Amino acid sequence: MKRPLFNQPIFSRPLFNRLSSRIFAIFWLTLMLVVVVLLLLPHLDPRSQHTIPQPELERYQNAAARISERLSSQPGTLQKKLLPLADPERHKGMQLYFTNDDGELLTPHQRTKALRNFITSADSPDAPRQKLYGRWMVAGPFLVKDQQQSALMYIGRVSHRPPPFFLRILDQPFHLLLLTMLVSTPLLLWLAWALSRPARKLQEAAQRVASGQFTQDPTLESSGPLEFRQAGASFNQMVTSVNQMISGQQRLLSDISHELRSPLTRLRMATALAQRKQGNSTELERIDTEAERLEAMIAKLLELSRMQIHGQETREYSDAVSLWQDMLEDAEFEASQNQKALSCGPLQPWPLAGNAELLISALENVVRNAIYYSKDRIEVQFSANDHSLTVTIDDNGEGVPDDQLQDIFRPFYRVSTARDRHSGGTGLGLAITENAIRQHNGSITASHSPLGGLRVTLMLPLAQKSQRHSLSQPEAR
């Protein structure tokens, strides 16, 4: 037998199955990828130092040789002789820089920031290189000298090519931030999906329970991080415990009702024997009437008990026409036999999900109650929106006092007015209806009717597409 997941030893569980471990790992993996990308970008950067193409290298070296010959033929210090050569106006689109052997700039002028950066890594005239800074290409160093001193020459020129993609990213922090977000987005999306999927399944299971479907979902224990699987296992245990508790309470009520029938049957037999021996009397008739009422009450209790036990077990998809059309036609016939008029609004096939027997019984109890207590008129109206169906039942009877409108749905409650004084009812009909509507995640209210009697309003949620696929179709009635 498989051990429950939440009873396994902590050291036997894979570390990555834990939600906290996944979040920690994803965080560091994302950070590591960003660091790797940032480390790789300089190597992909066209500005990185690379060998000067041979034709350009030869041109630069020849220029350095000519400058050296010119310097050797001129008198004066080397720095004074280099100043005219470093004049920005002398070379169109090109700039010459000169430094001593220690890298100190001999000819200060514009654009020295890029030069200073380049000098730190390119200071050997035996291996001249070049590097791009934005649109400014710097190459060097090349050795120039006169008869006594030497200097290093660097050449800067404008590059007419557009800046490469990586260059624009590295030059603009906002673009670099966007790249970081782009690299981390797939991992973060995967993490969000891994967290939301089991959470959404748990939410759907909770919604099913809230709508009255007390069923376990084994998939809650088989997917997702460990914490969600533990929550799923606990959720399924909770559903099992609730089912057992409800079943136990209702079976107890059912057993009590059955046990009451035995002494009740003996009481009625004893009453019948007494009537046979002594003849009819008011006292014996009263005993028999009360016994009959008690038997009817027990039958209603058994019906309520069966409803609460089996109401969650049988769930199917149906519609308002197939549920109530025949019942309403029978009610119209019954009302006409009692010289009363029952009118019904147009009934359409609104989708409903639940226990068909309970839904039929719920409306039937209210309609027959209205027929019984009305003077001569009953109206049943239907209205629906995108999410719910509302049914209103009006009669023109005596009505119910304001302070008792909320109490008529309590079991065994009977109104202390002419409406219920001589009915002989058990006070369970509307309680059965209220229980059935509540099991289907609906509501029931009582108010004064425009006809002068009682108005009962039923509200039931319409079945959604997800419920229609998950519930079975009803059998033909």
Q: Is 455 helix (H, G, I), strand (E, B) or coil?
A: strand
* Segment (H or E) for 37: helix 19-44
Q: Provide CB contacts within 8 A for 263, sequence distance 6+.
A: none
Give the whole-angstrom CA distance, residue 413 versus residue 417. Answer: 12
Give the whole-angstrom CA distance, residue 384 versus residue 459. Answer: 9
Residue of 258, 310, 387, 469 marked active site: 258
Q: Provide CB contacts within 8 A for 217, sequence distance 6+.
A: 201, 205, 208, 232, 235, 236
Give the whole-angstrom CA distance, residue 142 versus residue 139. Answer: 9
Do 419 and 408 contact (CB within 8 A), yes or no? no
Provide the token pair at 115.
């030069």
Q: Is 201 helix (H, G, I), strand (E, B) or coil?
A: helix
At position 252, the amino acid (one-letter code) is L
Q: For this structure, is 422 an active site residue?
A: no
Provide the token pair at 445.
């209210």
Residue 252 CA from chain centroid, whole number: 39
Name the residues annotated as catalytic.
258
